[in-house]
Amino acid sequence: MTTPEQEDRKPVRVFLVDDHALFRAGVRAELAAHGEDVEVVGEAGSVGEAVAGIEHHRPDVVLLDVHMPDGGGAEVLRRVRPANPAVVFLALSVSDAAEDVIAVIRGGARGYVTKTISSQELAKSVRRVAEGDAVFSPRLAGFVLDAFSERPGAAPIADPELDLLTPREREVLRLLARGYAYKEIASELFISVKTVETHVSSVLRKTQLSNRYELSRWATDRRLV
């Protein structure tokens, strides 16, 4: 049974940002089931489209992908948030890496959920951030608390070596460190095996390491795995 307050409140206007069109279509369809509470007003598949679309639609909440080929969620936040302080950003990503969580929170996102979330929980999370709450899964909330504390062993806020890697190189490195074969990484990220090889070579050069085993240890030390 709905309360009078629930009956009076307007749907939260949502803008989707993700470089995979099929994923956007899936999220739009799932959120449509909660149409009385959430309304998708627009979507974008790149940073440039996101900047233009958010400024045009002025949504209540942006569901923001973290990794995109032309810059990612942190770049969207950097370009949009200063001129649109009323827009709330909720990261929605396949990544559960501490450095990804910290990067978008430092950029101004109000929360971070992974793509394993149910549609019902996603709709609830959208409503909660629109109303001023911060929303994280328990594991991800721990990353944020660590990052902004002085506890020994806390996740690093900044890492000059890690900053050398592009978002896509970090994704490839993370999967490599988890034991994925090149073919599996290519399938997971919708890129070719040749492109995976190119990214791995670039990561090896930038980190001055010599093989995937050293890379795995390097990634583990930085909580990328």
d(CA 212, CA 16): 35
The confidence band for 47, taking pLDDT boundaries of 50, 70 and 90, is: very high
d(CA 37, CA 35): 5
Residues 81-93: tens digit of each pLDDT: 888 889 999 999 8
Q: Is the confidence at residue 174, as pLDDT, over 80?
A: yes
- Residue 20 is predicted with a pLDDT of 92
Average pLDDT over residues 95-115: 85
- Residue 4 is predicted with a pLDDT of 55
Instruction: Name all domains of the chain by residue range, CATH numbers in brackets.
Output: 12-149 (3.40.50.2300), 160-222 (1.10.10.10)
- Residue 1 is predicted with a pLDDT of 52
- Residue 225 is predicted with a pLDDT of 67
% residues pLDDT > 70 (the chain) = 87
Average pLDDT over residues 4-14: 75
